[in-house]
């Protein structure tokens, strides 16, 4: 075994090396001969020192010098470096060694202090996120059953991995926080960041409260929707309606969202509740818990939603009922940059003499005839139907005048 001094030196150096692996100035990579950034040419003394320490300890390190803790550090080092450095870690068989360590931890019900150290490291580092899922689920199950003896901060990290394994598929910058949110908010999503209210987490940690498993997928669905909207992806007419509602909330009047009457009709909230209903129940059932239908309906929030009238475009603003479509067509008129930012709006609108206006029924029909993409059929048919209604309303209005 490595003596304690060398072991600590190696661990410290791996920490410093991994932290400095990308240039803090510009995010670029380093040349590992000169330790200067390949892009901005800044020299990094910490990187050089830690690299040299690692290499010198490695030069006389044998397989049986290495304990479980160091294996985990080497595994991270290997994943961070991805063949960018001179020394090879192949001789340690890291993948299978770390798999064995995690397998052993999965079978334990009473962790020793050394085991807890390993758990801390695994759940503090994203490099283990795709291999710790069975271990994670066992720990979570024990919390729900009231059999947990791990610290609150460690369980926070376990939950963080549960979220990030999904949201990192969408953005590598996705983050998860547990925070004190305002009284009525259980969780929130902002771009690719998710916040969970501390009271929901505490109630899970202390009493095994399962609401957390409904709040998290709800927020994850918002993150996924943010991603689809930013990419211009639409699969149904409702996606267009939801985007209009979302943009009106952000840029026009947030009462369209925060008014309770409107909140229960909000399409983003409805889809998040539906996803939460399935994902939350499925996850808990996969852990072996019996989830009653009425509890899932309540915990996911779909109990408040009208699941028949999705396409109802009416909302209440300042005590008056308004139609999202009409409101949006007025709102978007002079918002050229917003129009260009969301290409999915181009199905329904066009730019004409500097203004953003509806396409006519004839234009929509012509595009529909030329369209080769079957998946857009429902969208075009809905838009054409709206255009027919709109144009016949106009004729009716002009007759009145
Ligand atoms: Zn740089
Ligand atoms: Zn929501």
Average pLDDT over every residue of 186-191: 94
For the stretch 349-375, pLDDT in tens is: 999 999 999 999 999 999 999 998 999
Q: Which ligand is nearest to the CA of 216?
A: 2
Q: Which ligand is nearest to the CA of 26?
A: 1
For the stretch 287-297, pLDDT in tens is: 999 999 999 99
Distance 13 CA to ligand 1 centre (A): 21
Distance 35 CA to ligand 1 centre (A): 11
Distance 41 CA to ligand 1 centre (A): 6
Distance 171 CA to ligand 2 centre (A): 19
For the stretch 105-123, pLDDT in tens is: 999 989 999 999 999 999 9
Q: Which ligand is nearest to the CA of 47?
A: 1
For the stretch 46-83, pLDDT in tens is: 999 999 999 888 887 877 788 999 999 999 999 988 66
Q: What is the CB-side half-sphere exposure of residue 45 using CA atoms within 13 A?
A: 0
Q: Which ligand is nearest to the CA of 22?
A: 1
Distance 174 CA to ligand 1 centre (A): 23
Q: What is the CB-side half-sphere exposure of residue 167 using CA atoms within 13 A?
A: 29
Q: Which ligand is nearest to the CA of 187?
A: 2
Is the pLDDT confidence value at 281 over 80? yes
Is the pLDDT confidence value at 395 over 70? no
For the stretch 139-159, pLDDT in tens is: 999 999 999 999 999 999 999
Average pLDDT over every residue of 202-227: 97
- The pLDDT of residue 82: 67
For the stretch 17-38, pLDDT in tens is: 999 999 999 989 999 889 999 9
Distance 187 CA to ligand 2 centre (A): 8
Distance 366 CA to ligand 2 centre (A): 38
Distance 343 CA to ligand 1 centre (A): 35
- The pLDDT of residue 176: 97
Distance 293 CA to ligand 2 centre (A): 21
Is the pLDDT confidence value at 174 over 80? yes
Distance 117 CA to ligand 1 centre (A): 34
End-to-end CA distance of the chain: 94
Distance 171 CA to ligand 1 centre (A): 22
- The pLDDT of residue 36: 95
For the stretch 258-277, pLDDT in tens is: 888 888 888 999 999 999 99
- The pLDDT of residue 398: 57
Distance 281 CA to ligand 1 centre (A): 46
Q: Which ligand is nearest to the CA of 223?
A: 2
Residue % of the chain over a pLDDT of 90: 75
Q: Which ligand is nearest to the CA of 44?
A: 1
Distance 311 CA to ligand 2 centre (A): 18
Distance 30 CA to ligand 1 centre (A): 8
What pTM, to 2 d.p., does this model score? Answer: 0.90
In angstroms, rounded to a whole number, what is the distance separating the alpha carbons of residues 210 and 252?
36
How sure is the predictor about 399, in pLDDT bands with cuts at 50, 70 and 90? low
Distance 305 CA to ligand 2 centre (A): 13
- The pLDDT of residue 84: 67
- The pLDDT of residue 80: 87
* CB-based contact 24:48 (threshold 8 Å): no
């Amino acid at each position: 075994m490595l003596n304690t001094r060398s072991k600590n030196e190696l661990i410290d150096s791996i920490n410093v090396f991994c932290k400095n692996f990308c240039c803090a100035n510009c995010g670029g990579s380093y040349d590992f001969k000169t330790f200067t950034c390949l892009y901005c040419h800044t020299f990094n003394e910490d990187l050089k020192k830690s690299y040299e320490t690692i290499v010198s300890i490695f030069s006389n390190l044998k397989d049986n010098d290495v304990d479980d803790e160091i294996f985990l550090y080497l595994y991270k080092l290997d994943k961070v470096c991805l063949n960018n450095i001179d020394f090879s870690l192949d001789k340690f068989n890291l993948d299978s060694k770390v798999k064995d360590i995690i397998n052993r931890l999965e079978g334990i019900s009473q962790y020793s202090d050394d085991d807890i150290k390993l758990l801390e490291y695994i759940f503090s580092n994203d490099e283990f996120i795709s291999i710790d899922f069975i271990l994670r689920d066992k720990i979570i199950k024990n919390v729900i059953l009231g059999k947990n003896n791990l610290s609150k901060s460690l369980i926070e990290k376990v939950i963080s991995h549960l979220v990030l394994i999904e949201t990192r598929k969408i953005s590598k910058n996705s983050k998860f926080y547990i925070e004190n949110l305002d009284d009525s908010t259980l969780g929130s999503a902002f771009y690719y960041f998710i916040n969970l209210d501390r009271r929901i987490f505490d109630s899970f940690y202390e009493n095994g409260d399962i609401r957390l498993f409904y709040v998290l997928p709800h927020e994850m669905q918002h993150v996924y929707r943010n991603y689809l909207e930013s990419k211009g992806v639409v699969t149904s007419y409702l996606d267009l309606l939801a985007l209009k509602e979302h943009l009106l909330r952000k840029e026009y009047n947030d009462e369209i969202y925060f008014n309770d009457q409107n909140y229960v009709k909000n399409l983003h909230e409805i889809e998040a509740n539906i996803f939460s209903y399935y994902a939350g129940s499925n996850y808990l059932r996969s852990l072996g818990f019996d989830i009653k239908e009425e509890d899932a309906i309540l915990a996911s929030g779909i109990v408040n939603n009208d699941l028949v009238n999705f396409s109802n475009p009416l909302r209440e603003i300042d005590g008056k009922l308004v139609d999202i479509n009409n409101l949006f067509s007025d709102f978007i008129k002079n918002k050229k940059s917003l129009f260009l930012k969301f290409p999915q709006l181009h199905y329904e609108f066009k730019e004409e003499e500097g203004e953003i206006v509806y396409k006519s029924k004839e234009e929509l029909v012509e595009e529909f005839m030329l369209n080769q993409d079957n998946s857009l059929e429902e969208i075009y048919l809905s838009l054409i139907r709206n255009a027919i209604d709109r144009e016949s309303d106009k004729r009716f209005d002009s007759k009145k005048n």
